[in-house]
A and B are shown apart, each in its own frame.
Chain A
Amino acid sequence: MSDFLLEVEDLEVHFRSSSSVAKAVNGVSFTLNKKETLGIVGESGSGKSVTATALLRLIPNPPGKIAGGRILFEGKDILALSEKEMRSIRGNEISMIFQDPMTSLNPVFTVGNQIIESIRTHRKVSKKEAKKAAIEMLQLVGIPEAEKRMDMYPHEFSGGMRQRVMIAIALACNPKLLIADEPTTALDVTVQAQILDLMRHLQDTIDTSIIMITHDLGVVWEMCDQVIVMYAGNTVESGDVKTIFDRPLHPYTWGLLDSQITSDSENEEKLSTIPGTPPDLREPIPGCHFADRCPYAQEVCFSKKPELIEVEEGHTVSCHFQTKEKRLKRKEKAYHG
């Protein structure tokens, strides 16, 4: 058995329409250790959420389909499991928190009911015990007067409180892996700080690994150990968080870092932007997916797809001009105007 909690190899997810196939995820590989936090960053449409949903086999089929690759969770091949076995993993060993706390709770059931449901599905406990566990869970995520709150409905909760309830449901069975799909995007900064703090605290107490999907690099610096940068269904760069911050190599990562507004951005200065839009994934792209937006692109980029290679230990990048031997020089203001 391998030491990794999760191993993903060459994952491919396709979405079929009447006339074409969109390759939403196109050969993504990564590994995750116990107690580690992995960040997946990228623009909308880069395939980060699809990757996460595929891990739980929740891709709607049809039109979606996991077309290739392997997902090993503690050595078990997730893609080979029966639906029944899969159900015992979902919410129990792997849980997910979705982006929108306003819509992911059922409005006609009380909050307590929904936590108890999750506990009773996976553990053989009496209603009373489940209720006790649910109250403990609510207290753990920092909801005051948990006992009273159990009988309230989701609409009586604020956004931050609802996201806490979602976390309570996700963590009710002490999962080994928690997938958080943009858990704080819909929330205010103050609440975001509280929720991230809570997730870190819980990770310490119950030893969960986390996959954090976000487009906010601030959240990545805050939370993650490892980072994967995705673009148009491909991994373009991966490495540990300090490497990516200190020595980013892929031109797309550069663009992403440059377009962040930081406290150093001068008011008078123009912000850097990545011109153009992501490619249409229904069309076959022979070369690098980023080529037509890349200020460094040359002829070879349009005809040949670059491989993902390890340029230094634990740091991989997929670009024709970034190898062990040669490096591309990062130009200042490459993304201006």
Chain B
Amino acid sequence: MAEAIIKVENLKKHFPIQNPIPFKKSNQSVKAVDGVSFEVFRGETLGIVGESGCGKSTMARLINQLVRPTDGKVLFKGQDLAVMGTKEIRDSRKSIQMVFQNPYASLDPRKTIKQLIAEPLEIHKVGDKRSRLKRVHELLEVVGLNSYHADRYPHEFSGGQRQRINIARALALNPDVIICDEPVSALDVSVQAQVINLLKDLQKKFSLTYIFISHDLNVVRYMCDRIAVMYLGKIVEIGSYNEIYQNPLHPYTKALLSAVPKESPYEKKERILLKGDVPSPVHPPSGCHFHQRCPQAMECCKSTVPELKQNGTNQRVACHLY
């Protein structure tokens, strides 16, 4: 089996809530990520899916140390990023880069494309001015733009092109891992397909490892080798895409998959409609977090938190049914 490039152990992030009484310390917190463990292997794409508010974006930021964890470990090539100082973390970001969701908000409108793509090189003091410019032109070609685009400003580009620029920035430092936080959800279908093709090509070319966060299950299915399903700060199921899509075990995964829109007007779909909304992560339900909405909930689900247990070859599921 391939080597684990990133290993996350019992990772937790609790955001404290401001106490309404000034100067009084709060004892409540939003449990955005609550004890998550998984591994990412070199060269693979791990997808993280879940509804909004389940903690998938916080997860991404924790891996990159853009937010520091409350507890737990993030091991990158065996070194724990969570205990590192600011300077060392900065160095580690050379190898772990990120592409954000909104291509309209993630590029500084007052900088040219050249400045934007060269920025990571400057921050990490790579090369001199001339070699940086050469690298910028190279990167523009790699992501399917032209070198004459270098002197333009972000507003002159469409959403898909901006996302290409964001990808070029992420590639600038030759990273090992790229974390993509909903990279295509703001784009049209035909443009979405272009960006996905590009990401796949780059992965082959530079042997990249992706962590791919999305709520679009079809995109995740197409992109990823393994998929982790998150619900309320916890992983409820993790496995290869075949296992998750063909043989989903957790009732939440089943409901999520059944909610994907039809693929033809003839298809008859059995929907598992979940009742209500995702509960508040401040006071998550006791026992299994999903038990209030679960169609198969049992008595023990209310009191005991299920462990993530092995089921089959690589599939692991956190449910009392198995």
Which residue numbers of A lie inside 8 Å of B, CB to CB?
A: 43-44, 144, 158-161, 188-194, 196-197, 215-219, 221-222, 241-242, 245, 255-256, 259-263, 265, 267, 270-274, 277
A194-B188 in contact (CB<8A): no
In angstroms, Cα B161 to Cα A107, docked, is 34
In angstroms, Cα B262 to Cα A242, docked, is 13
What is the CB-to-nearest-CB distance from B4 to chain A, in angstroms, rounded to a whole number? Answer: 22
B265-A272 in contact (CB<8A): no
What is the CB-to-nearest-CB distance from B166 to chain A, in angstroms, rounded to a whole number? Answer: 18
A277 to chain B: which residues have CB within 8 Å?
A: 158
Interface membership of chain B positions 158-190, coded 1 if the CB is closer than 8 angstroms to chain A and 0 otherwise: 110000000000000000000000000000111
Known contacts A161-B277, A215-B189, A263-B221, A192 near B52 by CB under 8 Å: no
B222-A271 in contact (CB<8A): yes
In angstroms, Cα B187 to Cα A216, docked, is 11
Q: How many residues of chain B are within 8 Å of chain A by beta carbon?
A: 43
Which residue numbers of B lie inside 8 Å of A, CB to CB?
A: 51-53, 158-159, 188-194, 196-197, 200, 215-219, 221-223, 241, 245, 255-256, 258-267, 271, 273-274, 276-278
Q: List 15 A-B contacts (CB under 8 A).
A: A159-B52, A189-B256, A189-B260, A197-B271, A215-B189, A218-B260, A218-B262, A218-B263, A219-B261, A255-B190, A259-B189, A261-B193, A261-B219, A265-B218, A265-B222
Known contacts A190-B51, A190-B274, A245-B264, A261 near B218 by CB under 8 Å: yes
What is the CB-to-nearest-CB distance from B188 to chain A, in angstroms, rounded to a whole number? Answer: 5
In angstroms, Cα B266 to Cα A245, docked, is 9
B218 to chain A: which residues have CB within 8 Å?
A: 260-263, 265
In angstroms, Cα B203 to Cα A267, docked, is 13
Task: Tell me the number of A-to-B contacts counted with CB atoms below 8 Å.
Answer: 105
B255 to chain A: which residues have CB within 8 Å?
A: 190
In angstroms, Cα B192 to Cα A256, docked, is 11
Partner of A256, one of B190, B258, B263, B266: B190
Which of B52, B193, B262 has the largest count of A CB atoms less than 10 A from its CB? B193
Known contacts A190-B255, A197-B271, A221 near B193 by CB under 8 Å: no
A222-B262 in contact (CB<8A): yes
Closest partner residue, chain B, to A242 (CB atom): B265
Which of B192, B221, B263 has the largest count of A CB atoms less than 10 A from its CB? B263
In angstroms, Cα B259 to Cα A221, docked, is 14
In angstroms, Cα B200 to Cα A69, docked, is 46
